[in-house]
Amino acid sequence: MNKNVKCSAFRLQRGFADRAILTAGACLLACSLAAQQNPPATTPTPPQAAPAAPITPPPSRAAAEAAARKLKVAATGDFYIVSSIDPKTQQIVLKKPTEVTQLVQVNAQTKYIDENGQPLKLQGLRAGDTVFVVLQQKSAAVPIAVSIRRGPMTVDILHQRYL
């Protein structure tokens, strides 16, 4: 009889354990379904779109022609980066985008122009400035700069020259 009691107690305990496992599984299943239906509110909200920029009217024909003239002026000469300037010897070391350097002589007749087409002096140029230089090769030693125009290499000029 003692053996039967132990077996029945084991059956009771085992039945209780089975029910507990089934109950826990059902609870986990219910929790996972609830989580899928109600996701947490920690999802980031999308950023607000920036307000639309005001639409500018197209430039007038005169403005377009002035910009084209400015582009042609900027595009004359070869494109360089100023590497160094020596005002005492009146020489400038220019560097092409290919890293090739060239020593250039400047004189009193050299014209210096800034980005806006205004006159500029040699002292207004700095190392690192991008310039368009028209050279005059009088002797084989050092070419003379006829004009130096400071300005960036724009996409339009790049397409005009190389593409």
Closest among 113, 106, 112 to 91, alpha carbons compared: 106
- Residue 46: per-residue pLDDT: 63
| Per-residue pLDDT at 19 exceeds 60 | yes
Distance CA 125, CA 106 (A): 12
- Residue 31: per-residue pLDDT: 57
Distance CA 141, CA 104 (A): 10
Of 132 and 97, the one with more pLDDT: 132
List beta partners, residue 136.
144
pLDDT band at 9 (very low <50, low <70, confident <90, very high): very low
- Residue 159: per-residue pLDDT: 78
pLDDT digits (tens, 9 = 90+) for 59-110: 666 665 665 555 555 558 899 999 999 999 999 999 998 889 999 999 999 9
- Residue 41: per-residue pLDDT: 59
